[in-house]
A and B are shown apart, each in its own frame.
Chain A
Amino acid sequence: MKCLLIASESAEVLFQWTDPEFQQNVQEQYGASQEEGHGLPAFEDSISTLFAPIIISCSTMVDRLCDSYTSFTTENNHIYVLHQFDECLYIAVNGDGEEGEGDLRRKIYVMKKMIEVMFGMVTLSSNLLRRELRPQDTEQRARLWKHLQSLLETYSQLRENDQSFLVEAVERLIHPTLCEQCIEFLERRLVQQLNGSVERAGEEVLHAFILIHTKLLAFYSSRNASSLSTSDLLTLIIMAQNMYPSNIDLDDPHPEMAEDSLQALEVPPPAPSTPRRVFLEVSLKDGLYPMMPHSMYCLPLWPGISLVMLTKVLYMFLEAFAKLEKRLSEGQEGSAASRGQPTIHDVRSKLDKFIKALGPSEIQLQNVWTEFKNRAFSRGGPGFNRDLIPWCKNMKTQLCGIYRQCFLIESGKADIPQRLSPSLQERAQTMMQEKLMDWKDFLLVKSKRNITMVSYPDFPGLIHFICVDRSTGQMIAPSLNITERNTSELGKGPVAQFIKSKVWSLVSTTRRYLQKGYSTVTLRDGDFYFCYFLWFENETGYKLEAGDIPILPDDSAPIGMLAWDYYRKLLRYYSKNHQGEVVKCYELLTVHLGVIPTEIILQHCRQLASKLWEPSRNPLL
């Protein structure tokens, strides 16, 4: 019984996803009257009718009481979580006990994150976003919604089964030598060759990485690229998983559910040569630039193994306007504002050519650009001052629209051939396949048994642990494979499932305490003893004194790194008192047998905390 709904303030459904049980429930309530007619519109109508009173009441509450609903719980434990982003109201429902309020709130935030990555700055304007999410054309709408639905299902699937999506940090495949070789290969051979080719059509490969299922084997960023944020990387992994859901049937403990979700995946993946447009955060020396367009090429090497490349789209324009806007809002005017790299005059001539190439269809962009030029460059015009800021924003929005269309309407704009040529992509694919041919079977197994508890014989009574480096957004944990044919030493079946459920609930419990300012938690629960620690170190590994952790309200953004990077904010907050020092943040969760004396358990934790990230132990990190 699950549902996720996005509605406009006028109760128009902008997106909906329901599982079969919820759909059935709605249909039963709306009964026979809706039976004839097409499935989709009829269902959409009944959903919108059913939720309309809540949606309308929500905006009344905001308007007149400056407060809004955050959740409802019924006596039979159905949970409704509501969150409003600008003019879009998100509602997530669970009626089967599988998700709590926190899970639902997280789902809402993740959905919003995925929409941001897909639509970029369009999301900043509710009006534009509404048009994007709910295209007039029914078929187009159905296609878009199906895509979003399957992304959401892929995410839910990963959150329920993959530890790295449980704690929202990237898991690396632990094989130092191979990793190094691959990075070298990506750098010296692959990226160099691609960026040196004439067939790249103006694109430049910035990042390239190899995924084994959801785990990262190697990650390479070119020298002039900014670093990729954990939040974006995790989202890209979800998108890659969604395109090639190689292990969905292996890992899913409910095969019949998997079939259902696979049916929803009817949207065929785009031809590999068609890149996905993604909007990612770029951090440059002079600041953070959110939602800059990139192209994402996801090339399947074998089932379960893929090469992902991110290229810089001509977002020079967007970047230029973002930078100009930043300088203007900092109070710089005139030539001080129009300086910069590239200069605005340089941008001007290039953009003129670009718009000319677009042709007459992009009249809106043309108009805004003309107006901008009049204000900025004409002799009698106001020139470069604060009044230009709204026009910078306007240009950014328009450009985003163009970038979106170039990608969505796949074949329409042949005159904007912004992509690596298919043959170039093919060459990259073949090169990588040749490189990894001898390793592929090993890698597929290794990804299921990355590290195992057997490697920790010095820790009697330790059942499981998860260690996360929040500064880099990476995690280490023994594999917990429940349905694998080759089981972990926990075995398979009920025991492993039980441990897994304990770990999952422990993570949500400790997040709850962290949200309220508690950075150490130990729990004696049934036959187990759980520990959780969060601490800070400086670059040399010196443990810093524990500081205040902010206390957040119940409906604050979920603690994690995928949808909203809590830890980045936490680090910034903590670093205020450690100026000039690089501060790192770590987390450790352990599960021990309850019979082990507490002193021993704490000793184990201490050893794990100090050893795990030692270079000798794990040269990758």
Chain B
Amino acid sequence: RYRYNINILPSSKCNYFFLYDGSKVKGEGDATREGICYFYPEETPLDKQELLCGQLAGAGRCVSELSASPVRILRLRRNNFAIRMKDDFFWALGCSAEVPTISACELLDQLINLFCFYNGSVRQSYQLYSQETLAARWAQYLSHLQSGSLELQHIFSCLRTIDSTNVDPLLLLKAALILQACQRCPLVLAGCILFRGRVVSTQMSPELTMKVMVHESETHTKAPSTFSSFGGVVSSTTVFLTMSELQYLQSAPVDKDFRYSHRTPHKNTSKKKTRLSRTLSDTPSTESEPSDTGSSQSPLKGSFSPHFSDSSVFSPDPLDSPPPPQPLQPPFPNGKLSPEAEEEALEESYYYSFHSNEGGVSQLHNEGDSSLFEGNSYLNGGGGGGGGGDGDAACGAVFDFRGAEESHHDTVFTKEASRGGCESVQGRQAEIPDPPPGSGASDSPEECPLVPMMLYLHRVKGLVLALLVEPHFLSDTASMEEVYHSSLASLNGLEAHLRTICPGAPDAPRPYIFAHFDCIQSTLTTNLSGRPGGAPERPFVRATSLLHSHFCNTETLQEAIIRSAGAAVYGSRSVAQETYFQQHGGSLRNSGIPNHQDSAFLLPSKARHRLLKHGVNLL
């Protein structure tokens, strides 16, 4: 029973993934294989597929009936399975036992969310498309999520970004400005700019950015419609947003860079508030873009009044347009969240919704709740009188109301999320992981209606501008041309600059290893080499994975030092970040007894000192 397996490199990747449709196997004579929608690895013999699907789904159903709740985690001796049960569907993703369960659960949710993002509801997809087509998609999403050489990337499921230490900050600013300029077209919800599979700038939440990146990084099997008029460099595909994603995009008026899933309410940095400014400027008192909301209400008419044909609107220079009013939320310039800041933000959110409710929309507010959004009514021009000039005000009001309502939703959501966190601290020990962030039951794709949107991509060699747009953007040639032409030059310039940046010379080997995870932006900074078989780094990765699970399950835990015979690793976390540090060399000889001169206990001060030059501040 004593297994000594420090030298066995665990595979961080998934060993099994399957989707099983129980509704196909109801009767006595139904073969289990009828229910297997997808099974990875695909070369698994069919009888083994049947065995795993049948047994796991059967035992899972039995347990969920006993407990009146779906199974979330199922462990075998050699594999841990993250499970999702919804309607008759049973998803299982099996990883080796070394992978933190919380990471496996996160991976499964990402996978399902990705599928829904590109295909809509799972049930409907299987009615519309052949099993083979969809199998190819599952395979594609799975391989996308498993790509990346660093095991740590799988533990934290982080966003891959360009190495900002090598890039002129002005280029990042430029990228942000391009996105902001595009957003001035009212049909553009938000966007991001990617370079060779890495994020340069994004206006979307990390979760949504990750979804968009799949399309960029791989040739999507669904033949995207390209537009010949744009030289074949522009393409689009239908995507499906969850209500909460949509609400977030529409309500958060500014940079979403700093927003971290539902843990934090949207934070406003002092940058631009294009959405909000446009909304507020719809009121007769402001001079610009008087009816763009009206236009978004009238897609059925097929006509789009080009009120903003003035191309200066699309200038990437924000100074060209009047500075947007920013009356409501004070910035949190450092993007950092002390608990007080979070509370404050919560209040701000309330304030925002309260404030927005003023100005004559209260009756609208009374009349409707979120049902207003169901059935895409707002997309189809719910306001019948939206055509005329006098409709503008009303539409504006609706829009305004929507903003208020959404922000209200967001606030409630945040509160629920934080309450869930508290429970997890009091109720359980380290063994039960929290539901992973961004995948809480409330966010489960199958639970809320999905809203079709379009993903617009403009490719300039290795650079891609990806925009989430309203569906009728594509039929609106004028808007498309505006967006295309206004950003083309800037994209070319940006691409030329990014291309010339050589990847920084590999770091000189340092006497320490560290990993810094920014929970808000979902980014990871590390000096791990990621070389296959990086044996000296194994102890660090193992310790980090254990500590990460511990941090996730114990909200009050701030710092930890753990030492085995081979390595001492220091971990520290705050609301916004997790940092792990290990010092190489030095004498590891110790007797294990408490000794304050022991080098292990110097790790916190060493980490504080050493990591400053990596831009990590642990004070």
Which of A's residues lie within 8 Å of B, judged by CB?
Answer: 29, 50-51, 53-54, 57-58, 60-61, 64-65, 67-80, 93, 95, 97, 100-103, 505, 508-509, 512-513, 516-526, 531, 533-536, 543-557, 569, 573, 588, 598-599, 602-603, 605-606, 608-610
Which of B's residues lie within 8 Å of A, judged by CB?
Answer: 1-6, 48, 51-52, 55, 58-79, 97, 427-432, 435, 441, 542-543, 546, 550, 554, 556-566, 568, 589-596, 598, 600-601, 604
In the assembled complex, 7 residue pairs joining A and B whose CB atoms fall closer than 8 Å, in A order, are A57-B55, A57-B59, A64-B51, A101-B431, A526-B556, A552-B2, A602-B601
Residue of A nearest to B63 (CB): A72
Of B48, B97, B429, B432, the contact of A509 (CB 8 Å cutoff):
B429
The reply to whether B427 and A602 form a contact with Cβ atoms under 8 Å apart is no
The reply to whether B546 and A95 form a contact with Cβ atoms under 8 Å apart is no
Nearest CB in chain B: distance from A592 CB, A? 12
With A29-B66, A60-B55, A606-B595 as contacts: A551 and B6 at CB distance below 8 Å: yes
Nearest CB in chain B: distance from A231 CB, A? 16
The reply to whether A609 and B594 form a contact with Cβ atoms under 8 Å apart is yes
The reply to whether A72 and B74 form a contact with Cβ atoms under 8 Å apart is yes
Q: CA A80 – CA B65 in complex, angstroms? A: 13
Q: CA A101 – CA B428 in complex, angstroms? A: 10
In the bound complex, residues from chain A placing their C-beta under 8 Å from that of B589 are 545
Q: CA A466 – CA B481 in complex, angstroms? A: 73
Q: CA A75 – CA B592 in complex, angstroms? A: 40
Which of A72, A522, A531, A552 has the most B CB atoms < 10 Å from its CB? Answer: A72
In the bound complex, residues from chain A placing their C-beta under 8 Å from that of B73 are 71-73
The reply to whether A67 and B429 form a contact with Cβ atoms under 8 Å apart is no
13 new A-B contacts at CB < 8 Å, known A71-B75, A75-B435: A57-B62, A60-B55, A61-B55, A64-B51, A69-B74, A74-B71, A78-B66, A519-B564, A535-B591, A545-B590, A553-B97, A588-B594, A606-B596
Q: CA A557 – CA B550 in complex, angstroms? A: 21
Q: CA A608 – CA B593 in complex, angstroms? A: 11
Q: CA A517 – CA B592 in complex, angstroms? A: 13
In the bound complex, residues from chain A placing their C-beta under 8 Å from that of B55 are 57, 60-61, 65
Which of B441, B559, B594 has the most A CB atoms < 10 Å from its CB? Answer: B594
The reply to whether A513 and B431 form a contact with Cβ atoms under 8 Å apart is no
The reply to whether B67 and A95 form a contact with Cβ atoms under 8 Å apart is yes
Q: CA A513 – CA B550 in complex, angstroms? A: 10
The reply to whether A603 and B75 form a contact with Cβ atoms under 8 Å apart is no
Of B51, B75, B543, B564, the contact of A554 (CB 8 Å cutoff):
B75
The reply to whether A520 and B592 form a contact with Cβ atoms under 8 Å apart is yes
The reply to whether B592 and A534 form a contact with Cβ atoms under 8 Å apart is yes
The reply to whether A100 and B430 form a contact with Cβ atoms under 8 Å apart is yes
The reply to whether A73 and B72 form a contact with Cβ atoms under 8 Å apart is yes
The reply to whether B62 and A54 form a contact with Cβ atoms under 8 Å apart is yes
Nearest CB in chain A: distance from B339 CB, A? 13
In the bound complex, residues from chain B placing their C-beta under 8 Å from that of A557 are 1
With A53-B58, A524-B559 as contacts: A65 and B52 at CB distance below 8 Å: yes
The reply to whether A67 and B3 form a contact with Cβ atoms under 8 Å apart is no
In the bound complex, residues from chain A placing their C-beta under 8 Å from that of B77 are 67-68, 70, 553, 555
The reply to whether B561 and A521 form a contact with Cβ atoms under 8 Å apart is yes
Nearest CB in chain B: distance from A2 CB, A? 13
Which of B68, B79, B600 has the most A CB atoms < 10 Å from its CB? Answer: B68
Q: CA A458 – CA B568 in complex, angstroms? A: 30
Q: CA A72 – CA B58 in complex, angstroms? A: 13
Residue of A nearest to B73 (CB): A73
The reply to whether B63 and A80 form a contact with Cβ atoms under 8 Å apart is yes
The reply to whether A508 and B430 form a contact with Cβ atoms under 8 Å apart is yes
B interface: dominant SS? mixed
The reply to whether B546 and A516 form a contact with Cβ atoms under 8 Å apart is yes
With A57-B59, A70-B77 as contacts: A97 and B428 at CB distance below 8 Å: yes
Top 7 A-B residue pairs of the complex, sorted by shortest distance between their CB atoms: A605-B594, A546-B592, A535-B592, A602-B596, A76-B69, A524-B559, A78-B67
Nearest CB in chain A: distance from B335 CB, A? 24
Q: CA A256 – CA B236 in complex, angstroms? A: 65
In the bound complex, residues from chain A placing their C-beta under 8 Å from that of B62 are 50-51, 53-54, 57
Of A67, A546, A551, the contact of B78 (CB 8 Å cutoff):
A67
Nearest CB in chain A: distance from B602 CB, A? 10
Nearest CB in chain A: distance from B155 CB, A? 15
In the bound complex, residues from chain B placing their C-beta under 8 Å from that of A569 are 2
The reply to whether B596 and A533 form a contact with Cβ atoms under 8 Å apart is no
In the bound complex, residues from chain A placing their C-beta under 8 Å from that of B598 are 602
Nearest CB in chain B: distance from A418 CB, A? 37
With A72-B71, A516-B542 as contacts: A546 and B591 at CB distance below 8 Å: yes
In the bound complex, residues from chain A placing their C-beta under 8 Å from that of B561 are 520-522
In the bound complex, residues from chain A placing their C-beta under 8 Å from that of B66 are 29, 50-51, 78, 93
The reply to whether B430 and A69 form a contact with Cβ atoms under 8 Å apart is no
Q: CA A556 – CA B4 in complex, angstroms? A: 12
Q: CA A100 – CA B598 in complex, angstroms? A: 33
The reply to whether B564 and A549 form a contact with Cβ atoms under 8 Å apart is yes
Residue of A nearest to B557 (CB): A525
In the bound complex, residues from chain B placing their C-beta under 8 Å from that of A73 are 71-74, 432
Q: CA A76 – CA B73 in complex, angstroms? A: 11
Nearest CB in chain B: distance from A505 CB, A? 6
In the bound complex, residues from chain B placing their C-beta under 8 Å from that of A588 are 594
The reply to whether A524 and B557 form a contact with Cβ atoms under 8 Å apart is yes
Residue of B nearest to A522 (CB): B561
Nearest CB in chain B: distance from A361 CB, A? 41
Of A50, A102, A550, A602, the contact of B594 (CB 8 Å cutoff):
A602
Residue of B nearest to A101 (CB): B431
Residue of B nearest to A603 (CB): B596
In the bound complex, residues from chain B placing their C-beta under 8 Å from that of A608 are 594
With A61-B55, A520-B592, A554-B75 as contacts: A77 and B64 at CB distance below 8 Å: no
Q: CA A93 – CA B69 in complex, angstroms? A: 14
With A29-B66, A100-B432, A525-B557 as contacts: A69 and B76 at CB distance below 8 Å: yes
Nearest CB in chain B: distance from A345 CB, A? 40
The reply to whether B59 and A54 form a contact with Cβ atoms under 8 Å apart is yes
In the bound complex, residues from chain A placing their C-beta under 8 Å from that of B568 are 520
Residue of B nearest to A546 (CB): B592
The reply to whether A70 and B76 form a contact with Cβ atoms under 8 Å apart is yes
Q: CA A117 – CA B600 in complex, angstroms? A: 43
Residue of B nearest to A502 (CB): B556
The reply to whether B594 and A533 form a contact with Cβ atoms under 8 Å apart is yes
In the bound complex, residues from chain B placing their C-beta under 8 Å from that of A535 are 591-593
The reply to whether A598 and B60 form a contact with Cβ atoms under 8 Å apart is no
In the bound complex, residues from chain B placing their C-beta under 8 Å from that of A50 are 62, 65-66
Nearest CB in chain B: distance from A603 CB, A? 6
Q: CA A545 – CA B427 in complex, angstroms? A: 38
With A76-B69, A97-B428 as contacts: A518 and B78 at CB distance below 8 Å: no
Q: CA A60 – CA B76 in complex, angstroms? A: 13
Q: CA A102 – CA B430 in complex, angstroms? A: 9
With A73-B72, A557-B1 as contacts: A599 and B596 at CB distance below 8 Å: yes
Q: CA A594 – CA B431 in complex, angstroms? A: 25
Q: CA A609 – CA B593 in complex, angstroms? A: 8
Q: CA A556 – CA B75 in complex, angstroms? A: 13
The reply to whether A68 and B76 form a contact with Cβ atoms under 8 Å apart is yes
The reply to whether A75 and B564 form a contact with Cβ atoms under 8 Å apart is no
In the bound complex, residues from chain B placing their C-beta under 8 Å from that of A549 are 564-565
The reply to whether B596 and A598 form a contact with Cβ atoms under 8 Å apart is yes
Nearest CB in chain A: distance from B430 CB, A? 6
Nearest CB in chain A: distance from B422 CB, A? 13
Q: CA A545 – CA B565 in complex, angstroms? A: 9
In the bound complex, residues from chain A placing their C-beta under 8 Å from that of B596 are 598-599, 602-603, 606
With A520-B562, A523-B559, A609-B593 as contacts: A75 and B69 at CB distance below 8 Å: yes
In the bound complex, residues from chain B placing their C-beta under 8 Å from that of A534 are 592
Residue of B nearest to A509 (CB): B430
Residue of A nearest to B85 (CB): A75
Q: CA A118 – CA B593 in complex, angstroms? A: 39
In the bound complex, residues from chain A placing their C-beta under 8 Å from that of B565 are 517, 519, 546-549
Nearest CB in chain B: distance from A568 CB, A? 12
Nearest CB in chain B: distance from A194 CB, A? 41
Q: CA A97 – CA B542 in complex, angstroms? A: 28
The reply to whether B431 and A65 form a contact with Cβ atoms under 8 Å apart is no
